[in-house]
Chains A and B, each alone.
Chain A
Amino acid sequence: KAGVTQTPRYLIKTRGQQVTLSCSPISGHRSVSWYQQTPGQGLQFLFEYFSETQRNKGNFPGRFSGRQFSNSRSEMNVSTLELGDSALYLCASSLRLAGGPVGEQYFGPGTRLTVT
């Protein structure tokens, strides 16, 4: 089975721009979660999508948004980029059951975003 894939792997953007990151989950996984990983804050949960609906949301500003398509692929968008948004953005998919918690997660390689 193919693992979780994320594109692009590396990205350099300028302050004020917006960016869209993409994630393809493992086949059959309907839950996709996004995380921001930085040396200072560690892994922080952004949001989770399940069956095209955002089910859970972490404590991030509204500039961070996402969506999920009918094939479970997900995109994350960050608008009006700030220097502090520089981070590794990880996507994880899971075989979550409807109404249940996110269980074991399978992580992708991440997208390294640098904001200058």
Chain B
Amino acid sequence: AQSVSQHNHHVILSEAASLELGCNYSYGGTVNLFWYVQYPGQHLQLLLKYFSGDPLVKGIKGFEAEFIKSKFSFNLRKPSVQWSDTAEYFCAVNALTGGSYIPTFGRGTSLIVHP
């Protein structure tokens, strides 16, 4: 069965620090990749997605992620975080498994940004 690993469960940063959240998946076929974010008290919402093409994708609020197929990774980055980036971040993979597409989410990374 496919799985998604987010290596950092809790990250604490100061404003203006750089951010990189790791995401690795275990599936060798074609995948669609996503990062979702859940701000305190709000719904899960899409941050960015990768379906095909340029492996460096840009999302909302200055976030970007790079798909490295050889490493089965889709790490999320932001050069300079803000206090408003405090949230829970989820990596998700959608892959064809046994004839069906089963979305699989990572366990999430809680990011706290201190002002």
Contact = CB atoms under 8 A, between A and B. Distances in A.
Contact of B32 (A45, A57, A103): A103
Interface residues of A, number: 25
Given A101-B96, A103-B32, A104-B34, A90 B44 contact: yes
Interface residues of B, number: 23
Interface stretch (A11-19, A63-71, A105-113): A105-113
Contact of A56 (B1, B34, B101, B108): B101
Interface of A: 3-4, 33, 35, 42-45, 55-59, 90, 92, 101-110
Interface of B: 1, 32, 34, 36, 43-46, 49, 51, 90, 92, 94, 96, 100-108
Contact of B43 (A42, A57, A101, A108): A108
B94 A102 contact: yes
A43 B34 contact: no
A33 B46 CA distance: 15
Contacts of B1: 59
Contacts, number: 54
Contacts of A104: 34, 46, 49
Nearest to B96: A101
16 contacts: A43-B108, A44-B105, A45-B102, A45-B103, A45-B104, A56-B100, A92-B44, A101-B101, A103-B32, A104-B46, A105-B103, A106-B46, A107-B44, A107-B45, A108-B43, A109-B43
A106 B49 CA distance: 13
A103 B96 CA distance: 12
A104 B104 CA distance: 13
A55 B100 CA distance: 7
Contacts of B101: 56, 101-102
B43 A3 contact: yes
A105 B108 contact: no
Contacts of A101: 32, 94, 96, 101
A96 to B, nearest CB: 9
Contacts of B100: 55-57
B105 A105 contact: no
A43 B94 contact: no
